[in-house]
A = this chain, B = another copy of it.
Amino acid sequence: MPNIRLDVEYDGTSYAGWQRQPNGIVTVQGEIEAVLSEILQEKINLAAAGRTDRGVHARGQVVNFSTRSPLEHSRIRHSLNCLLPSSICIPSSQLVPDDFHARFSALERQYRYFAIPEPSALMGRYTGCSHGDVDFALMQHLSSGLRGTHDFSLFSREDRDGNGSLCTVREAGWYRHKGVMVFHIAANRFLRSMVRGIVGGMLSAGRGELDPEEYLGMLGGGGGGMRVKPAVASGLFLWRVRY
């Protein structure tokens, strides 16, 4: 059976996250699977690179599925783009080898977080707000401390998937673009709400509300779940997945 990869972009504002939910709760996975099943006339289960939280966006989510249908992937993609709500789209599709799995074949996930100092009517949908100035140099310093392998359990919501809480961060840092502060991070894996925890804690430190040493100390882990105030979901984007 052909194995098809889709690149997926979505505005997560009005979805209860990526993952399919029962009882009519509207999720991105649920929407795409429903439309795909209608197009292909068979039940489709998507594998996905990242399980984004409620309200989180994606610029480069990756999914795959197998189908008995003889339809070309580009035809499937076209039908999807016609039938999906405008808040979800499929910029590209491709036929991939049988052993490609959007989740397990991924080598690295990249996320970005966009933050602005004051609320904005035009940018609010796609940013978080730091509510005032923050110590940008300090946040840069903290993000360089994230690189390497750490136990991120204190920056994440508890989620017992049995894979532990060690993640290896290859790259993490802030840059500014026209008044917007942008945090980028690349790691082999991410725990639940982890980027929001990392960013929320940094913003607290940047406002002087959290001791920087305490922040870095939490990278030692310990369990017990989120110890920082997570940043709001609207500023976060699953940016890119490397295979």
Contact = CB atoms under 8 A, between A and B. Distances in A.
Contacts of A121: 9-11, 86-89
Interface stretch (A95-103, A122-130, A153-161, A211-219): A122-130
Interface string A84-95: 001111010000
A10 to B, nearest CB: 5
Contacts of A150: none
A89 B124 CA distance: 10
Secondary structure type dominating chain A contacts: mixed
A124 B91 contact: no
A57 interface: yes
A118 B59 CA distance: 14
A119 interface: yes
Copies in the complex: 2
Nearest to A9: B121
A11 B81 contact: no
Interface in A173-217: none
Interface string A65-81: 00000000000000001
Contact of A124 (B59, B86, B119, B126): B86
Contact of A122 (B119, B120, B122, B126): B126
B119 A89 contact: yes
A179 to B, nearest CB: 11
Question: Residue among A59, A81, A118, A122 with the most chain B CB within 10 A?
Answer: A122
A9 B87 contact: no
B122 A57 contact: yes
A17 to B, nearest CB: 15
